[in-house]
Amino acid sequence: MVLLAAIAVEIVATAALKSAVSTSWLVGTLPLILIGFSFILLSIALRVIPMAVAYAVWEGLGIVGIAVLGHVLFGEHLTAARAAGLAAILAGILLIENGVGQDRSEGDGRLA
């Protein structure tokens, strides 16, 4: 659950960063604070999830979420090639997550 919260905060922070580009510096600090909070949540998740799995899931789902949010909120193009790339990222996350069941030495493998 903590890792999923870290991913959600990262996605919101990135969307806020795009929105904050044309605003005051004070509003521009909000994305930085959110990204810091996302890292704090990620570090908590690392207590029970192997580092390679946690980072891959955090970054991979963050990329997918940001791409979808960019398409929905900002009208960014989501071409077939980009969609295929996002599907490949999701497939990679599943492969990494399923491989954890074989090595439990660094945590229990759950997404906290």
**Number of other CB atoms surrounding residue 52 within 10 Å:** 12
Q: What are phi and psi of 107, to 5 degrees?
A: 145, 180
pLDDT digits (tens, 9 = 90+) for 35-89: 999 999 999 999 999 998 999 999 999 999 999 999 999 999 999 999 999 999 9
Q: Which two tokens stand for residue 68?
A: 């979808």
Residue with tokens 């491989």: 99
More confident residue, 106 or 36: 36
* Cα distances (angstroms) measured from residue 32 to each of 63, 67, 73, 94: 17, 19, 20, 29
The residue extents of the domains of the chain are: 2-102
Range with lowest mean pLDDT among 27-31, 69-73, 105-109: 105-109
pTM of the model: 0.80
* Amino acid type, 30: L
pLDDT at 106: 52
pLDDT at 97: 84
